[in-house]
Amino acid sequence: MPPSFTNGESPPVSCEIQALLREYLTSSRLAEIVYRDDAGQIQTTHDMIRDLFGRAGQDFMLLGRGQMLRLDHVLSLDGRLLSPPSSF
């Protein structure tokens, strides 16, 4: 049975996805990021990843323009699937 994350913590990000995100972070490469916003709508933005960090049991991505996204809300990065759309 998979672990439950009912206490506000997000599931851990896989090592493969962490490596991909760090590659974008260190290269300052522009990326197409598809994510689900707080209202549940799918959004697309084109930006650089400025920082990756954890806070209060959640993993976040800070974008170049100052937008902060929860990693478990990011669906794809340059067309590479990071989370299935039905996971929210």
15-83 CATH = 2.30.30
State the Cα–Cα distance between residues 65 and 48, nearest whole angstrom.
8
Q: Spell out the domain ranges in the chain.
A: 15-83
State the Cα–Cα distance between residues 74 and 78, nearest whole angstrom.
11
Of residues 81, 74, 46, the one with CA closest to residue 60: 74
The pLDDT assigned to 7 comes to 54
The pLDDT assigned to 4 comes to 43
* pLDDT (tens place) for every residue of the chain, 88 residues total: 344 444 555 566 788 888 999 999 999 999 999 999 999 999 999 999 999 999 999 999 999 999 999 999 999 999 999 876 655 4
The pLDDT assigned to 1 comes to 39
In degrees and rounded to multiples of 5, residue 28 shows phi and psi of 55, 35
The pLDDT assigned to 13 comes to 72
